[in-house]
Amino acid sequence: MEIKKIKEEIFEKAREVGFLESEIYISQSSSFKVSVYKSEIEKFQNSESGGLCFRGIIDGKMGYYFSEQVENINPYEIVKGARENAILIESEDEEEIFAGSKEYKNFENFDEEIEKLSVEEKIKMAFEMEELVKGEGISVNSSTVAKGKTKTYIFNTKGLELEKESCYILAYIEAMATKGEQTKEMGKSKISVSLKDFDYKKICYELKKDLIASLGAEPIESGKQKVLLKNEVFADLLSCFVGNFYAENVQKGFSRLKGKIGEKVGVDFLTITDNPFLKGGLDSCNFDSEGVATYEKKVIEKGILKTFLYNLKAAKKDGVSSTGNGFKDSFKAKVRTSCTNFYVEKGELSFESLIKEVENGILITDVAGLHSGTNSISGDFSVACEGFLIKNGKIDKPLNQIVMADNFYDMLFKIQKIGKDLEFYSSIASPSIIVSNVNISGI
């Protein structure tokens, strides 16, 4: 397929029918997934998807046309459809075709070794994971290996020509353990853009260890506690409230951070970064879906709110430049604000040192019902969780049937220590963090 030839044919037809400016966005994806259950392949999927989005300005309006076909397309049909769409547009929001940033950082986030993995090798991984976890009273509910690849192109009549390619590999294992009348279910995942860093066996060993350790859990009395939030737990919380840092939500009044740029919003040693050039980052990229160059930015630096994240539309409203955070979920989707690799910068203490620092309190290792138990605007949350009692600086007995309730904004001021165990389970990450005076309710 000659992408650039297709581009020229479409732009030529667009000029003929009266489009002043035009843009083409092409996305092509492939995905693979295999799930194993009881030593047999339960699900198998190997698919391709994607398509083309044409948009252009005609008679002062932006018209759109979407095609799931990229090859064997009719350029005239595309621009004719976009022209008809423009006639129907009633929105007063002004849209633009972006001419391009001054420069784009050279950055690649594609590992050929992931692409070279055969189907047989990926299936073997899924079977191996199941074997590593089952036994000792543990049964495996599902063992899954998935791989994906995406290639994106952006061209416009202002001279912009961009392309990027990314891939990932993912492992997920879910298992169940029983002791007496108590049953525990747990899952762990690992996703990576580098085969070298893809240690799928590690999550199997961790899952088995954590499942066994969680058996015999007991409830706890209600009260305020010093809490150590495991890295993936604080990352899960952060993911629920990351939208509060998106300018479009701030402008709509959906964030309590409105008007607080330059103000203190957390403890002095808290820094949260959006870094599109993080090596091995799941959402590393050198431009966003609008063609704006990305760059690293401190969203919170030493407790001070430094910036919101912007796409072009939100930036225009505030009279600032886009931060390169305008992304599409698919070629058909509208541009929205989204983070790249968004994380709390790590401290200096190991996880073991954090346990000692707590002395007497609670370690939270898992939370449930996050999205139903959170109010993204007020910052309030109340979620079921599991973990362990910390007694005299050591992990004591497992806990269950407990609820953690607090306010995200307040929690940023109650952080006491930040660990160094920063690990990415998604594009949003955090080290383990100690927080004081958290409301814990026993059930």
Percent of the chain beyond pLDDT 70?
A: 99
Q: What is the pLDDT of residues 185-233, one digit of tens each?
A: 999 999 999 999 999 999 999 999 999 999 988 888 899 999 999 999 9
Domains of the chain: 3-208 (3.30.2290.10), 217-238+347-442 (no CATH)
Question: What local confidence, expressed as pLDDT, does residue 93 receive?
Answer: 66
Q: State the distance between the two ends of the chain, measured CA to CA, in whole angstroms.
A: 61
Reported as a pLDDT band with limits 50, 70 and 90, residue 56 is very high
- Whole-angstrom distance, CA of residue 224 vs CA of residue 207: 29
Reported as a pLDDT band with limits 50, 70 and 90, residue 442 is confident
Reported as a pLDDT band with limits 50, 70 and 90, residue 91 is low
Residue 94, pLDDT above cutoff 80: no
Q: What is the pLDDT of residues 314-364, one digit of tens each?
A: 999 999 999 999 999 999 999 999 999 999 999 999 999 999 999 999 999
Please state whether 358 falls in left (phi above 0), alpha (psi between -120 and 50) or beta.
alpha
- Whole-angstrom distance, CA of residue 316 vs CA of residue 294: 17
For residues 15 and 57, the answer to whether their CB atoms sit within 8 Å is no
- Whole-angstrom distance, CA of residue 88 vs CA of residue 83: 9
Question: What local confidence, expressed as pLDDT, does residue 409 receive?
Answer: 97
Instruction: Give the mean pLDDT of the chain.
Output: 94
Q: According to DSSP H, which parts of 262-341 are helical?
A: 312-318
Question: What local confidence, expressed as pLDDT, does residue 180 receive?
Answer: 80
- Whole-angstrom distance, CA of residue 341 vs CA of residue 186: 26
In this prediction, residues 135-140 reach a mean pLDDT of 92
Reported as a pLDDT band with limits 50, 70 and 90, residue 121 is very high
